[in-house]
Amino acid sequence: MKRNVLYGFLGLLVLFNLVLGVKVLTLNASADSEDAGYENLTVFTRALQLIRQDYVDANKIGYKDLTYSALRGMLGSLDPHSQFMEPTDFREMQDETRSEFGGLGIVVSTKDGVLTVVSPMEDSPGFRAGISPGDQILRINGTTTEKMSLQDAINILRGDPGQKVVLTIFRPSSKETRDFVLQREIIKVASVKDAKILDPSAAGNFKIGYARITQFNEPTAQELDQRLKELQAQGMQALIMDLRYNPGGLLMSAVDVCGLFLPAKTMVVYTQGRDASQRREYYTAKNAKQRPNFPMAVLVNSGSASGAEILAGALKDLNRAILVGDTTFGKGSVQSVIQLPDGSALRLTTAKYYTPSKQVIHEKGVTPNIKASLTADQERALLLRHRDGLLSPDEQRFVNDQKDPQLDRAVDALKGVMIYNQNDKQSQATPQ
């Protein structure tokens, strides 16, 4: 028994040195001394020894179970996005970057301590059921989420296709609480939608293109590149890129999309951790081929998060686009995923994102150049428009009756820029 405890102590000592002791080597801002670190590890291992020795249920005191529980608690105490992942959780997390996976199609985060819907993915069970950004998930299958970690919630929401999940949702806008019964299915993600030239009734004599990015995955930049080529072939003079309800995705995908509009080797975002040496800068590709510098507007709202905020922040800071809408969600922290020897992993917040003008994104969001908000009915109509023909006659009439002030303000802004550019060219061409 003593030998087992000793081996356990040595193994945990190595593990905790890897997880916690790095600060002794790389960080000089910590108030903890090395001696204090080992003193606290002694407290931990003594507690582990007592649990192994005296706890009443022998089937609950395996080293693996106790270590995993300790790691879950330790990572969960840091922030909502730092998590310990068992090997199965880690494999499921890797599926997030692919084009399809099993689940409900709901992107969730923790906001003010409450499990909150960032955005439902289009063409998913959550989207079709009418779950909206900002909805608070109070219970999952009858289990309260009050003390549930974000990773545990995601694990329950995801699973085999065909299984039903009951979500108890509180909607702050209407003060309504109701149950949604959803059935898991394979979620297929199309990242670029509704690419078109706006109708002349909205754009007037100008050909204003429109494209909506639902999230950033591996093929997003290539998909958008192809759609832009098609719009340019139709004579596009300006572009509106819609990032509303875009919950983010892959960082490098967002950087690659920046490369479609900015010069090669342009810094679009950087990360900064506790130590200056942890700064990392992200640039557009050195061989990126920039398109014509047509006027551009980007639509954002409180459902625009992570990668969407990086793209919006870069285009705003570098004066490439006018931002229209509401302040974005404010999810701008960097999670490094570090695999451990047994196939488990740490998702650890190690830095925060900053826009090129040194504006922090996390918990602040990106503020638009032109503030424009939607009413509750207009927001509902906007989400219904994304259902691609799945509307009832009553829903279609409702949608037709509602305007989109954010899109209208973006169109007006681009018209103003193009009229100014035309007048400027004419004045330069006129002999003085």
Q: Give yes or no: 306 in active site.
A: yes
Q: Give yes or no: 404 in active site.
A: no
d(CA 26, CA 100): 39
Catalytic residue, chosen from 191, 253, 304, 306, is: 306
Catalytic residue, chosen from 89, 191, 331, 415, is: 331
Catalytic residue, chosen from 123, 135, 256, 317, is: 317
Q: Give yes or no: 331 in active site.
A: yes
Burial (CB count within 10 angstroms: exposed 0-12, middle 13-18, buried 19+), residue 145: buried
- Cβ atoms of 366 and 328 within 8 Å: the answer is yes
State the catalytic residues. Answer: 306, 317, 331
